[in-house]
Amino acid sequence: MGVLQLTLIGTAWVLLNIHLWWWMYLRTGKLGMVDVGWGLGLGGLAVLYAALGEGSLVLRVAVALMFGGHGLRLALHIGRRLFSEKGDDPRYAVIRDNWKEHLTLKAYGFYLAQAGLQLILALPFAWIVGRAHWLWIDLIAVAVVIVAWSGEALADRQLRLFRQTSPGRVCNVGLWRYSRHPNYFFEWLIWVGVALAATPESGWGWLSPIMMLFFLLFVTGIPPAEASSVRSKGDAYRDYQSVTSAFFPLPPKRSKETIPTS
């Protein structure tokens, strides 16, 4: 099955999936439900393309397990928080405040845009599952994805545990000492691995990490997350911003203990 056919089938999947989570948003009022749909949408595309692809069985199984598993982990991580807490994701609370007029219409457009982005980002999956043989670059890609997946899971766990033991404080321990958003960095690194694996078929696979980087740095990632953190933690978070890299993990400008909220 070719890339066009896979994409058409994938379109049906992402539209069905995103409308399910749109319905959940209407029921709960939590705009962050889109992120659960994001993880399940991309993970589902990986599994779907792997099942329908006609290339190497090893490559198809690798795509299904690695990226299907990643999407499921992401959806479960976000969903557990959204369903267990009363409020919305703070990032989306900021976005929702900016969309006071015609909120429902803008939110629906946002959900549909997420579905479209999933299709574009998943194009490398379609190229990979159509390839007949493993190549040396696939080993590098797998290593990058494993490191990235492990790093993102560790960053999420560190933040969750910190919030349980030190609620209301700024997390600057573990990976969060070197990046204000290590989870975003490793999420982006996963797509670098995807692009590497897709390179033998098409250099256009690099569009995925480029797009992901743009949205994380300038749209739905860091800007609303930082606006929410500054609003809730004030000078403590500004102090954290002054010493810690925003995205790429780097040594802090000066050593500090956990930054207090006041």
pLDDT tens, 228-238?
Answer: 999 999 999 99
pLDDT digit string, tens, across residues 132-173: 998 999 999 999 999 999 999 999 999 999 999 999 999 999
Task: Judge if 222 and 235 occupy the same domain.
Answer: yes
Task: Judge if 160 and 233 occupy the same domain.
Answer: yes
Domain count, the chain: 2
In the chain, which ranges are continuous DSSP H helix?
Answer: 3-28, 33-52, 57-63, 69-84, 90-98, 103-121, 123-128, 136-165, 182-198, 207-218, 222-233, 235-243
Task: Judge if 127 and 140 occupy the same domain.
Answer: no
Give the domain extent around 261.
135-262
Q: Domain end: 133, 163, 192, which one?
A: 133
State residue 255's pLDDT score.
54
**Does residue 262 carry a pLDDT above 50?**
no
- What single-letter amino acid sits at 261? T
* Backbone torsion region of residue 168, taken as left when φ is above 0, otherwise alpha when ψ lies between -120 and 50, otherwise beta: left
pLDDT digit string, tens, across residues 191-234: 999 999 999 998 999 999 999 999 999 998 999 999 999 999 99
pLDDT digit string, tens, across residues 1-60: 889 999 999 999 999 999 999 999 999 999 999 999 999 999 999 999 999 999 999 999
Record the pTM. 0.88
In whole angstroms, give the CA distance from residue 177 to residue 181.
Answer: 10
Task: Judge if 105 and 48 occupy the same domain.
Answer: yes
Task: Judge if 123 and 53 occupy the same domain.
Answer: yes
Q: Please classify residue 2 by burial: count the beta carbons closer than 10 Å to its beta carbon, then call 0-12 exposed, 13-18 middle and 19+ buried.
A: exposed
In whole angstroms, give the CA distance from residue 21 to residue 6.
Answer: 23
In whole angstroms, give the CA distance from residue 14 to residue 18.
Answer: 6
State residue 258's pLDDT score.
46
Q: Cα-flanking dihedrals φ and ψ of residue 105, to 5°?
A: -65, -45
Task: Judge if 43 and 167 occupy the same domain.
Answer: no
Q: Domain end: 116, 133, 150, which one?
A: 133
Task: Judge if 104 and 85 occupy the same domain.
Answer: yes
- What single-letter amino acid sits at 34? V
